[in-house]
Every structure is written in C-alpha cells, then in structure tokens.
Amino acid sequence: MDIYELPTNDEILFALGEAPLGEGAEATVYKIHTHPKYTIRISNQLNKNDAFNYIKESELHLQKNVFGHRNFAQTVAYFWHPEDTMEFGPKITINYYCPGFSYEIYKPGRPVPDSEEALIKTKLMSEKILEIPDKAIDTIYDDLHFISAKEYSIDVGGGLFTNTGNILFSALDQRLFIIDLQPFLEKGRQGTNPLNTKGFNTPLFLTRGLMPGMERYKNEHAKDPYLINLRTEILDKVISGAERNNLNDEGGYLAGSLDKMAQYWKVQFSILNTPEKYQENMLKRLMSIKDVQKYHHPKEINIPYMRISGKSIYS
C-alpha cells in the first residue's frame, strides 16, 4: 500500500463530520466519501474533539498487508500518538471499506429491541440468509481457509460466538464478507488449545455468525416453530458448504478432535432446538468432513497487526 493512495488528514477530519457508517462496542466507523476505498475507525475512548486533536498530534504509519487483494475491512494504516503504548496500541486506524449490511439484530449503544420486535427481525433476516447463493457460501469458506493459513481468525467479540455484526452480505456482489479479524490468540490464552491451527475459523463459528439473534435472544427465539425451521435450514446450508469446501472443526481453539467438537455441536443443537430427527445425520456429516489445507502456512509470521479492540496490538 502506497502512502500516497491514502486519504489526507483533511479528508479524514471532514469524514468525522458526517454520520457514522457503523458503531460497535469498541469503535465508531466513518466512511471517507472523498476517498471511498477507505474508512476511518475511531476508538470509543475518544470523543470527536479528542479525535481531531489525536490526528493532528499523531504520526501516520502503514500496516503491512498480508492479505493480498482480499478485503476484510482490515487496517491499512494507523495513527500513533506520543501517548500511545505498545500494550494498548493506537486509537485511530484507516481501514478498507467493505460493502454490504450485517444481520445483527442488536447494536451496542442502541435501544435493545423487545423480544417480539426482535423476533420479527430475526425471522426476516434468517429468510434472507437462506436466499444467499451457494457461491457466496463457498467464497466465505475460501476466506476461512486463507486467514487460517495466515494465522488470523474471525473476531468473536470477546465470547465464544461469532458476532453477526462482523459478517456482511453485499446484495450487489452476491457474497459475504468477514470484516473484523484478529491474529491468533496467544498460545494457551483464555484456555484455548495450545496447538490450534484454525482459531475461530470453523463451521461451528461460521454457523453462529449467520444466526441473527443467536446470543441475545437464544432462549426466547428457540421456541418459535417457524424460526426453528429456518435455523435448521441455515445449519444444513453451512454444513453443506463445509462438505463442499473440505473444512471441519478439528484443530481450532476449543478442542483438538472431532469427537470433542461433536459435543459442542450437540450444545449448539440444543440452544437452537434443532429437531432431533436431523441431529444424528448432521453430526455424521460434520464428522465425515476431511479437512484439506488449501493455502500454505507463511514463513513470516508474528507480524505486528494494529487494530482497535480490547487489545489493539498483536504480534
């Protein structure tokens, strides 16, 4: 990435005066309309005045690109303020703009929809997920293979579920985009498998990432017959994608063997209230998937990656 391709500070400051493109628990994102390939991501630790001063007082650094032509809304540059530390990292980054919308029902900082309102949204968005073409599912599986080989992972937002806000669907492109990555967690951190090779890049986590209302409304929504049917179809769609693309759950953070991962799937089925008549077949299909490593593991790993999060620097 050539620094001269990046937006100027004036363009960035202008973007901060516009309406946000998105808001999350960690940061607010603005699209830089005068330079539409990029967004500016501002830590929620900064208010708008602080952000203006931070940019003016900081030095811009490029982030090494390890993803080639792929777009994960990744950091391409970051501002480093004299008061920043390596422990917490930068508070403002420049990222690629990624098209599409998320299936997220609840967004942090906004009023929580009541269960009935959320159920209507959950059903509608689940119907839309089922309309996604198989080609789009295959593309996101290819991305999962690719980022695992690079020792990056889907960001699960601090819990053991993939945040639906971190997956976008572009109706124009007819494809899904992963828009938030983290380098592999430190070996053994948070009780993770020290020999992991996939992070959260497995069918289990992709499935949960495509389930609107999966976490916040899991108890209320698991009892609705129509939604149960929709989610069972989504499970089948994701498992079919895993079969076509030779990706199983083995070797990820949670456990090493498929036998152990089967126990997590049983919990998944219970949360979703998946009809028992389908569970045995789904588990058999998941256990029968033979993993194929599509991409070579890079020699140059441990490249520092700057991002705004609970822990902004990884190496």
- For residue 107, what pLDDT is reported? 74
Task: List the Cα angle 95/176/255 in 5-degree steps.
Answer: 90
Report the C-alpha gap between 85 and 81 in whole angstroms.
9
Per-residue burial over 104-140, b if 16 or more Cβ lie within 10 Å, else e, is: bbbeeeeeebeeeebbebbbebbeebeebeeebbebb
Distance of CA 43 to CAs 27, 51, 70, 79, Å?
4, 9, 24, 12
Report the C-alpha gap between 5 and 65 in whole angstroms.
14
Q: What is the DSSP string of 195-257?
A: T-SSTT-SHHHHHHHT-TTTTTTHHHHTT-HHHHHHHHHHHHHHHHHHHHHT--STTSSS-SS
- For residue 231, what pLDDT is reported? 96
Report the C-alpha gap between 182 and 126 in whole angstroms.
27
- For residue 165, what pLDDT is reported? 84
- pLDDT by 10-residue block (mean), the chain, 315 residues: 73 92 86 94 91 94 91 95 85 95 80 87 94 96 94 77 86 91 74 80 92 85 94 97 96 83 93 95 96 81 75 41
List, in order, residues 6 or more apart from 207 with CB less than 8 Å away: 234, 235, 238, 239, 268
Q: Do the Cβ atoms of 87 and 189 come closer than 8 Å?
A: no
- For residue 188, what pLDDT is reported? 58
Q: Is 183 helix (H, G, I), strand (E, B) or coil?
A: strand
User: In the chain, where does DSSP find H-type helix?
Assistant: 9-15, 48-57, 115-130, 134-149, 203-209, 218-221, 225-245, 258-272, 276-288
Q: Do the Cβ atoms of 106 and 214 come closer than 8 Å?
A: no
Report the C-alpha gap between 33 and 11 in whole angstroms.
8
Report the C-alpha gap between 315 and 221 in whole angstroms.
40
Report the C-alpha gap between 95 and 77 in whole angstroms.
7
Report the C-alpha gap between 49 and 276 in whole angstroms.
55
- For residue 56, what pLDDT is reported? 92
- C-alpha neighbours within 13 Å on the C-beta side of residue 253: 27
